[in-house]
Amino acid sequence: MKIGYIRVSTTDQNTMRQEVLLKELGVDEVFIDKASGKNTDRPELKRMLTYVRQGDTVIVESISRFARNTRDLLELIAQLAEKEVEFISKKESIDTSTPTGKFMLTIFGAVAELEREYILQRQHEGIAIAKEMGKYKGRKPICHPEFDKIVAKWKAGSMTAAEAMRRLDMKPSTFYRKVRGSNR
């Protein structure tokens, strides 16, 4: 079987370009993630890795859609190889069924990782410039008008931490950080 994997970085991005390409390539099954490629903790990627069988071929539009760092890329390819599944990246014309394809995969993986590092560097530089110009102030702090009252009840033992978090609509990490006095 030909298995397609598609990834875009955010839920706002459109997958149609990748879907059309994979349909043209005769893919039988498609797995789509709308998540960052910074690591392999993606639900559809995991599902696809479980789904593939010996003799299948995983096809992606480009390596950057599959993995953003060389280590993750090589680990994913190793997982596929263990199952005797081939990997094809259309944009880079990489086919792991050939020695040249395996070599080129490593090179392009390193390039994808470098690209991600450049993106992060530009992002940090842009934020720093925006802060200097007073246009970026960071994320707005979470502020609940009843925070002090609810925390007092929690500290007095008349309310559980779970109930306090529910009433404040806060995750545990945010709740405890604010209780300690950070970002208040």
Instruction: Choose, from 9, 97, 158, 173, the residue flagged as catalytic.
Output: 9
**List of domains in the chain:** 2-120 (3.40.50.1390), 147-179 (no CATH)
Q: What is the pLDDT of residues 173-182, one digit of tens each?
A: 889 988 887 4
Q: What is the pLDDT of residues 109-166, one digit of tens each?
A: 777 778 878 988 998 999 889 888 888 777 777 778 889 999 999 999 999 999 999 9
Question: What DSSP string runs through the chain?
Answer: -EEEEEEESSTTS--HHHHHHHHHTT-SEEEEEES-SSSS--HHHHHHHHH--TT-EEEES-HHHH-SSHHHHHHHHHHHHHTT-EEEETTTTEETTSHHHHHHHHHHHHHHHHHHHHHHHHHHHHHHHHHHTT----SPPP--TTHHHHHHHHHHTSS-HHHHHHHHT--HHHHHHHHTTTT-
- State yes or no: is 9 an active-site residue: yes
